[in-house]
Amino acid sequence: MTQRRDFPYSSYKGGNIMHTPKTRSPLALLASITLFAFTLALPQTALAADKSLYQRLGGYDAVSAVVDDFAAKLFVDPVVGKRFFGMSDDSREGFRQKNKNLVCKVTGGPCKVISRSAKVTHGGLGIKASEFNIVVQHLVDTLNKFNVPDKEHKELLAIIGSLRPDIVEVEDE
């Protein structure tokens, strides 16, 4: 068996890298055990603080349910619903999926964004500030319906609010 110099903690054999543990010093072992014990002793709230917004929202199924409810409100709204006039069921499903992926990604989830940037997507549509506010209100109503906690509610709205300059082209008078 030949020791590879670029993998000092591994041995090379037949194309596979096999990890061969080195002996650890008693001090390193004590530090590892102490760190592990400290982690177990942490209150759940401290551990929850390390979770991403995506995890705290409930993961993909929760994001999916919120986006489905939110999109349904947009499609029937008397003002912003006009923006979706003529969309087929398939196009509406694509809209929902793109938004699920977007919310998943921007909240720290594993999804890939499958749409263009907000600026490109909304550019040239002449979206008014009042329309953006209607959309945000539908999101607020949906988050309330799903009893999203206040902290997560505010974090998600801050993310969505940061998109406003890329979406709104007309400030209402």
Structure tokens, 72: 């349904």
Q: What span, in angstroms and rounded, lies between the C-alpha atoms of 109 and 9?
A: 33
Structure tokens, 159: 């993310």
Domains detected in the chain:
16-49 (no CATH), 53-167 (1.10.490.10)
Q: What span, in angstroms and rounded, lies between the C-alpha atoms of 169 and 130?
A: 11
Q: What span, in angstroms and rounded, lies between the C-alpha atoms of 13 and 24?
A: 24
At 16, which helix (H) or strand (E)? strand 16-19
pLDDT at 92: 97
Structure tokens, 90: 């398939």
Smallest CA-to-CA distance from 156 within 66, 34, 49 is with 66
Structure tokens, 23: 């002996």
pLDDT at 20: 36
CA angle 89, 92, 93 (to 5 degrees): 85
Q: Is the pTM of this model over 0.85?
A: no
3-class secondary-structure state, position 163: coil
Q: Can you say whether residue 23 is alpha, beta or left, with left for phi > 0 and alpha for psi between -120 and 50 degrees?
A: beta
pLDDT at 50: 84
Q: Which residue has the tokens 């999109």?
A: 71
Q: pLDDT tens track of the chain, all 173 residues?
A: 444 333 333 333 344 333 333 433 333 333 333 333 333 344 444 445 689 999 999 999 999 999 999 999 999 999 999 999 999 999 999 999 999 999 999 999 999 998 898 899 898 899 999 999 999 999 999 999 999 999 999 999 999 999 999 999 999 76
